[in-house]
């Protein structure tokens, strides 16, 4: 039985699974798979068929009695199993084909197949949408028909390269649809070859119209930004605060005097800042990088150009960015405000000169009014005094006349005093309107008015009083006094040759310990008052300044007294002047 069966299998090779497939399929399989692998698969298939036949046969012994029938039945089962596997594979392939067709049709990229002559053989839905024409009408039309005339030469060059050279080729052209709408697309194409023969070209089209428009809009905004930056003269900086690069634009480098390729460190930037201004710049930077702050940076300082040596006044504005509570980056701008600062100084000088002239005019008119009021009484006093003196020199023969002359002199002197008192009362006659004020805020606002002019080279340190009760006073009058006292301090230090941002003027607000009043102190670093000057400091028309008229402190004292307070000074020769004024707390 076994020998007969073996012989039957060897004499009927066409019935075995390994030889039942078509010759070309066998050849293809043998060219791609090892012979041992095919034999293993064939043996496994036969074993499965033998088991299945054993379960289906009504009489397995009878089946085995006829070897030829057994082989036919096994082979039949093998064919059925192969047919079922092929059917399943066909279903899988059809499903896969449908998925790829859907992917091909619904892809956002246009796919086209062009013939060697440039005709459209295949196109997906996205390709038809890009060409703005139904797919059926696109087939067998020349693709170049949809290229805008201005890009035809570029398309023909691109097409020839695709035909003559293998590989993927890329480019950009504008297409014109049926309705005249133009679309900018990015091209990618590669040749289709079969057995070395050119069959056509696969073409991929990506709509980049929105991208081109976005890039154009971005470029327009960039051009406008550059134009605005150039017009404003702004320099830009971007500092990585944890040791990264310092990115500085050309304008920043121009102000500092750095060359375009010169590597810059933070030390180089600070070294170019005027020595008197470095402390203020570093204080502003420390405040900006403090995580408890708002990260805003503002500073004004002078920069010494490293090439020309010229001094530039610079205003810097920036913003610090934090990560995990640590300052990591600062971006900002710098602006050369030299011309603006010089103009401000000229305006301030002219304003000061005009203020001085106005004060002199007021003093002149006041003096004229005083002279007018007391001239006649003084003339009478002089006449009575001369008469009395003549009587005394000639001998008093009529005491009554001498008495009348002296009494007349006294009366006229008193008249002059009353006239002067009434005139001063008239000049100061005004009703002071007071309100509840936050003295810290009032003084802080006044100090903002002292940054320019004579105080531009000094540092004003303001010490506020926490939880200070409100005071009852006139806002404008109090601010006028603060500004006047600070300006006097600045002018005194300038006159003494004391300059530099390190020189401080301390302005402090605090409650008085013994009475319910608040006190404001202005202390400078100047020469102070000597004993004689201190006694006359508040006397009208007394001044130690070459261009002063001697009314500032007198008026300031009158304003503070009108608000219910006092103004006084602490003489300290050689240690700076200290002036103080008090204001009552609001009830």
DSSP 138-196: HTTSBGGGGB-GGGHHHHHHHHHHHHHS-S-EEEEEEEE-TTS-EEEEEEEEEEEEETT
SS (H, E, C) 299-325: EEEEEECCCCCCEEEEEEEEEEEEECC
Q: Give φ, ψ of 27 to 5 degrees.
A: -65, -40
Would you tell me how many other CB atoms lie within 10 Å of the CB of residue 258?
20
For 344-397, write each residue's pLDDT tens digit.
888 777 777 767 666 666 666 666 666 656 766 777 788 888 888 888 888 877
Q: Check if the beta carbon of residue 523 is closer than 8 Å to that of residue 539.
A: no
Res 368: pLDDT:
65
**Domain span at 419:** 353-427
Residue 32: pLDDT band (50, 70, 90) is very low
Given 90, 105, 120, the domain boundary residue is 105
Q: Is the pLDDT of residue 23 over 60?
A: no
Domain count of the fold of the chain: 5
Regarding whether 247 and 154 lie in a shared domain, the answer is: no
Shared domain check, 238 and 180? no
Domain endpoint, select from 427, 457, 484: 427
Q: Is-contact 173 155, C-beta < 8 A?
A: yes
Same domain for 376 and 485? no
Answer yes or no: do 574 and 449 share one domain. Answer: yes
Least confident window among 221-230, 242-251, 468-477: 221-230
Q: What pTM was estimated for this model as a whole?
A: 0.42
What per-residue confidence (pLDDT) applies to 571? 67
Residues 418 and 446 occupy one common structural domain: no
Q: Are residues 95 and 133 in the same domain?
A: no
Are 455 and 418 contacting, i.e. CB atoms less than 8 angstroms apart?
no
CATH no. for residue 167? 3.30.450.20
Residue with tokens 């009587």: 391
Judge whether 342 lies within some domain: no
Domain end marker among 278, 307, 336:
336
In a domain, 524, yes or no: yes
Cα dihedral across residues 487, 493, 497, 500: positive or negative: negative
Check whether residue 280 and residue 367 sit in a common domain.
no
Instruction: Inform me whether the pLDDT recorded for 511 exceeds 60.
Output: yes
Q: Write the CATH number for 546.
A: 3.30.565.10
The answer to the question of residue 225 being in a domain is: no
- Evaluate whether 489 touches 554 at the Cβ level (below 8 Å): no
Which of 236-250, 298-312, 403-417 comes out lowest in average pLDDT? Answer: 403-417
Confirm whether 384 is domain-assigned. Answer: yes
pLDDT in tens, 460-509: 888 888 889 999 999 888 988 898 888 888 887 877 777 665 456 777 88
- pLDDT by residue (tens digit) across 170-214? 999 999 988 888 999 999 989 998 888 899 999 999 999 999 899
Provide the 8-state DSSP code for 333.
Answer: E
Q: Which of 83-92, 112-121, 455-464 is most confident?
A: 112-121
Are residue 391 and residue 471 in the same domain, yes or no? no
Are 200 and 291 within one domain?
no
Domain identity same for 421 and 453: no
Q: Are 493 and 526 contacting, i.e. CB atoms less than 8 angstroms apart?
A: yes
Flag whether pLDDT at 316 surpasses 80: yes
Q: What percent of the chain has pLDDT over 90?
A: 29
Residue 249 sits in the same domain as residue 275: yes
Distance CA 452, CA 351 (A): 12
Is 370 inside any structural domain? Answer: yes
565 and 441 both lie in a single domain? yes
């Amino acid at each position: 039985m076994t020998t007969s069966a073996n012989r039957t299998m060897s004499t009927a090779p066409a019935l075995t699974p390994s030889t039942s497939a078509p010759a070309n399929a066998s050849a293809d399989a043998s060219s791609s798979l090892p012979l041992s692998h095919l034999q293993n698969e064939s043996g496994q298939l036969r074993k499965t068929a033998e088991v299945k036949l054993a379960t289906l046969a009504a009489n397995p012994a009878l089946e085995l009695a006829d070897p030829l029938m057994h082989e036919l039945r096994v082979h039949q089962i093998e064919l059925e199993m192969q047919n079922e596997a092929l059917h399943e594979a066909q279903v899988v392939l059809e499903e896969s084909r449908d998925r790829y067709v859907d992917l091909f049709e619904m892809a956002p990229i246009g796919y086209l197949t062009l013939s060697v002559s440039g005709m459209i053989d295949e196109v997906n839905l996205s390709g038809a949408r890009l060409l703005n024409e139904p797919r059926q009408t696109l087939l067998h039309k020349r693709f170049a028909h949809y290229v805008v005339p201005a890009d035809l030469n570029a398309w023909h060059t691109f097409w020839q390269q695709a035909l003559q050279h293998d590989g993927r080729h890329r480019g950009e052209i504008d297409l014109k649809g049926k309705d005249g709408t133009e679309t900018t697309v990015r091209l990618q194409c590669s040749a289709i070859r079969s057995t070395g023969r050119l069959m056509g070209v696969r073409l991929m089209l990506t709509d980049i119209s929105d991208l081109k428009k976005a890039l154009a809009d971005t470029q327009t905004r960039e051009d406008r930004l550059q134009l605005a930056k150039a017009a404003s003269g702004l320099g830009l900086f971007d500092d990585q605060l944890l040791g990264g690069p310092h990115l500085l634009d050309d304008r920043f480098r121009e102000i500092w005097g750095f060359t375009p390729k010169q590597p810059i460190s933070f030390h180089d930037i600070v070294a170019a800042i005027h020595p008197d201004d470095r402390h203020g710049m570093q204080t502003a930077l420390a405040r900006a990088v403090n995580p408890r702050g708002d990260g805003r940076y503002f500073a004004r300082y002078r920069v010494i150009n490293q090439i020309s040596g010229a001094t530039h006044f610079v205003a810097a504005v920036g913003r610090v960015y934090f990560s995990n509570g640590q300052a990591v980056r600062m971006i900002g701008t710098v602006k050369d405000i030299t011309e603006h600062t010089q103009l401000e100084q000229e305006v301030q000088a002219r304003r000061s000169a005009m203020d001085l002239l106005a004060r002199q005019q007021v003093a002149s008119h006041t003096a004229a009014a005083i002279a007018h009021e007391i001239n006649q009484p003084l003339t009478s006093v002089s006449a009575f005094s001369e008469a009395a003196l003549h009587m005394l020199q000639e001998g008093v023969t009529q005491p009554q006349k001498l008495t009348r002359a002296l009494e007349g002199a006294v009366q006229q002197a008193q008249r002059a005093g009353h006239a002067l008192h009434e005139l001063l009362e008239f000049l100061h006659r005004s009703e002071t309107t007071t309100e509840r004020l936050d003295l810290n805020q009032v003084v802080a606002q006044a100090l903002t008015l002292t940054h320019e002019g004579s105080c531009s080279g000094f540092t004003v340190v303001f010490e506020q009083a926490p939880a200070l009760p409100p005071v009852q006073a006139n806002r404008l009058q109090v601010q006028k006094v603060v500004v006047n006292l600070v300006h006097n301090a600045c002018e005194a230090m300038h006159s003494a040759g004391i300059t530099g941002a390190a020189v401080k003027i301390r302005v402090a607000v605090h409650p008085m310990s013994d009475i319910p009043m608040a006190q404001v102190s202005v202390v400078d670093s100047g020469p102070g008052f000597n004993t004689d000057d201190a006694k006359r400091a508040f006397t009208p028309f007394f001044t130690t300044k070459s261009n002063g008229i001697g009314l500032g402190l007198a008026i300031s004292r009158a304003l503070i007294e009108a608000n219910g307070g006092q103004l006084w000074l602490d003489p300290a020769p050689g240690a700076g002047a200290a002036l103080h004024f008090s204001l009552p707390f609001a009830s």
